[in-house]
Amino acid sequence: MLRLAIQKSGRLSEDSLKLIRECGISFITSSLKLKTESTNFPLEILYLRDDDIPGYVADGVADIGIVGENVLVEEGMQHLAVEQLGFSKCRLSLAVPKGDPYEDISDLQGKNIATSYPNLLQSYLDEKGVQAHIHTISGSVEIAPSIGLADAICDIVSSGSTLISNGLREVERVFKSQAVLIANGGLNAEKQEILNKLLFRIHAVQRAQK
Ligand code: PRP
Ligand code: ZN
Ligand code: MG
């Protein structure tokens, strides 16, 4: 039995479950259960917070996982990546209040920026030679400017509607992301074989979509 960790609720959950179903793997879902077993494939699914998934896979609590590259790289866990899955594409972007006279990245010099991705943001600012104060918060980042907590934010943008509804304008793209399959490095032979079977099916699904 192979243990797969996926996001409990969020942008990745639906797409992750859809991929597993397209692989012909059946299971019963209930919004209240945090764990389910497939009825026709040796797979157990754990529903977790996305931010916790790389750590659980690294520790072997889960054998494999589906997570955004943004979370994986932020946590310095790139070595767990097996392959990019091509869905849940999004970007990590800097945004400012829409009335702001922002022209280029140097306008952020000395400013306060709120984000849940301090490491990705710091490397981007370093690369651009900009010094700013990074305020790490775990959620509701988009409201930070309107409550006076920050001058700018750096958060995930997909459709862009969250930015618009919070009166923000996207000004820089920091990181491009998509869903990625990750795996623990020390899987035993039995688990490795199940993973190979799963990958074989994932590749078939991907070929059919091309
Ligand atoms: C991101 C981000 C916004 C939303 C943006 O959250 O924090 O809430 O997506 O999407 P939009 O551009 O389509 O409006 P995410 O799904 O990564 O969830 P999390 O922050 O709770 O992990
Ligand atoms: Zn998250
Ligand atoms: Mg969010």
Q: Per-residue pLDDT tens for 61-83?
A: 999 999 999 999 999 999 999 99
Domain carrying residue 188: 2-88+178-209
pLDDT at 33: 81
Q: How far is C-alpha 163 from the geometric centre of its chain's CA atoms?
A: 18
Same domain, 84 and 182: yes
- CB distance 12 to ligand 1 below 6 Å: no
Same domain, 63 and 161: no
- CB distance 10 to ligand 1 below 6 Å: yes
Low-confidence stretches of the chain (pLDDT < 70) are none
The percent of residues in the chain predicted with pLDDT above 90, rounded, is 95
Same domain, 25 and 74: yes
Q: What share of the chain is helix, strand, coil (3-state, %, to 5)?
A: 35, 30, 35
Neighbours of ion ligand 2 (CB under 5 A): 50-51
- CB distance 162 to ligand 1 below 6 Å: yes
Same domain, 10 and 79: yes
Same domain, 108 and 164: yes
Same domain, 106 and 80: no
Hey, whose CA ends up nearest to atom 18 of ligand 1?
10
What value of ipTM does the predicted structure carry? 0.90
Rounded to the nearest angstrom, the distance between the alpha carbon of 172 and the centre of ligand 3 is 18
Same domain, 164 and 108: yes
* CATH number of domain containing 19: 3.40.190.10
Same domain, 164 and 187: no
To 10 degrees, what angle do helices 189-209 and 11-22 make? 100
Which atom of ligand 1 is nearest to 160's Cα?
Answer: 12
Rounded to the nearest angstrom, the distance between the alpha carbon of 161 and the centre of ligand 2 is 18
Q: What is the pLDDT of residues 161-187, one digit of tens each?
A: 999 999 999 999 999 999 999 999 999
Which atom of ligand 1 is nearest to 12's Cα?
Answer: 16
Same domain, 95 and 158: yes
Same domain, 58 and 10: yes
Please tell me the total count of domains within the chain.
2
